[in-house]
Structure 1
Amino acid sequence: MQNHFNGSARSLRNLYFVRTVFQALWAAAVLSTASAQPDVASILLIVYPLWDVACTLYDLRASRLTGDARTSQIINALLGSAVALGIGFTISSKPAYSIAIFGAWAFGAGALQLVAGLIRRKQFGGQWAMILSGLQSTAAGIAFVLGGLGGKLHAKDMGGYAIFGAIYFLIAGVLLSRKLSQALADPIQG
């Protein structure tokens, strides 16, 4: 049981740190290309949900999730795949609609992240950063949907969205590292 906790917690911690780096790099790329190279920014818009799908699939495999946690992750992977296709089909003809699609994904993925954070809180403790991240993602998703449907291109706002996500993942990774250290120091209570 303890080995399963340590293995799952380590995998999750590593995933959080990798996601931190990716999101920071993605945000920098979006912010630097949004105005000058909109085609590059468009590709980045498709890449983001696909990256989330890859992370979700890794999490499913590494954490050996069951029940509601597994179901929410599977739904998240399917949602991210569908959104990447939707963005791909609309990005050149209706770029504002692709922003709205991204927003719908951010809303749905945020809600699912909130559920996962609440479930994992029982398993690993903490997870408040992931819970806040889920709440922030749902709020940003609503703003992106409304803005996109209103014709606003939110590329710079999306960079900010990813930066906040990176901060939340970093905090969650640090907190999980502390929990792992405590479990190793006191295997009976960990």
Structure 2
Amino acid sequence: MTTTETLQPTKNLRNLYLTRTAVQFLWAAATIATAATNPALAAALLVLYPLWDVACTLYDLKTSSDATSATTLYINAAAGILTAIGIGLTAYAHPQYAVAIFGAWALLAGLLQFVVGLIRRQRMGGQWAMILSGLQSTAAGVAFVVGGLNGKFHIKDLGGYAIFGAVYFLIAGILLSRKR
């Protein structure tokens, strides 16, 4: 593989990570700001979050030359679509269930991100932040499932989850920039 063939997927992934950083910070701010005053908007934002992840995953699949993680990414995209549907069906009537559904998705997506991070670490490096992010997402997912089902977590609490994810994406983007 030539240097150009190696650098383009790294550049694409870096750009994706940095874009995800910005969008996740904006999403978190909007969710935290609107959850108490406009629950309908917060619920809509909650539906959009996994769909944003699906769009990012599809972009990753399109621009990545990493066939070894493709199955994992397809599973992640399918899970995100199912999650958005589940949240859409529950967010307005039973927001605690929407939080629990989001948590189940965060748990699965975290495990998948962990696997993709391990695979990519060997090929391109700069993935330790994604590996840690996957582990953190898995743990947060468990907390959201339990907390959502027990009425202890609210949609606004998911803003912190997005902020942590944004920081991990920022670190990974910087690491990939340095690698180039």
User: What's the TM-score, normalizing by structure 2?
Assistant: 0.97
1:53-75 C-alpha deviation (Å, 9 max, x unpaired): 000000000003313x0010000
Equivalent residue letter for 2:17: Y
Q: RMSD in angstroms over aligned alpha carbons?
A: 0.9
Query: Within 1, Cα distance between the matches of 2:136 and 2:114?
Result: 10
User: Structure 1 runs of 4+ off > 3 angstroms?
Assistant: none
CA contact (8 A) 1:95 1:153 kept: no
Map 1:1-190 onto structure 2 (within 5 A). 1=1, 2-67=3-68, 69-180=69-180
- Partner SS, residue 31 of structure 1: helix
Query: Within 2, Cα distance between the matches of 1:171 and 1:76?
Result: 22
Deviation of 1:156 after TM superposition, in Å, equals 2.8
Equivalent residue letter for 2:93: S
Query: Within 1, Cα distance between the matches of 2:126 and 2:10?
Result: 12
CA contact (8 A) 1:13 1:173 kept: yes
Q: Which stretches in structure 1 are left out of the alignment for 5+ residues?
A: 181-190
CA contact (8 A) 2:43 2:155 kept: no
CA contact (8 A) 1:144 1:154 kept: no
Deviation of 1:127 after TM superposition, in Å, equals 0.7
Deviation of 1:96 after TM superposition, in Å, equals 0.6
Deviation of 1:157 after TM superposition, in Å, equals 2.0
Task: Answer with 1 or 2: which has the greater Rg.
Answer: 1
User: What is the number of residues matched between the two proteins?
Assistant: 179
Equivalent residue letter for 1:164: F
Q: Which stretches in structure 2 are left out of the alignment for 5+ residues?
A: none
Query: Within 2, Cα distance between the matches of 1:174 and 1:80?
Result: 26
Query: Within 1, Cα distance between the matches of 2:51 and 2:126?
Result: 27
CA contact (8 A) 1:46 1:88 kept: yes
Query: Within 2, Cα distance between the matches of 1:148 and 1:155?
Result: 9
Identity %: 61
Deviation of 1:152 after TM superposition, in Å, equals 2.8
User: What's the TM-score, normalizing by structure 1?
Assistant: 0.92
1:33-54 C-alpha deviation (Å, 9 max, x unpaired): 0111111100000000000000
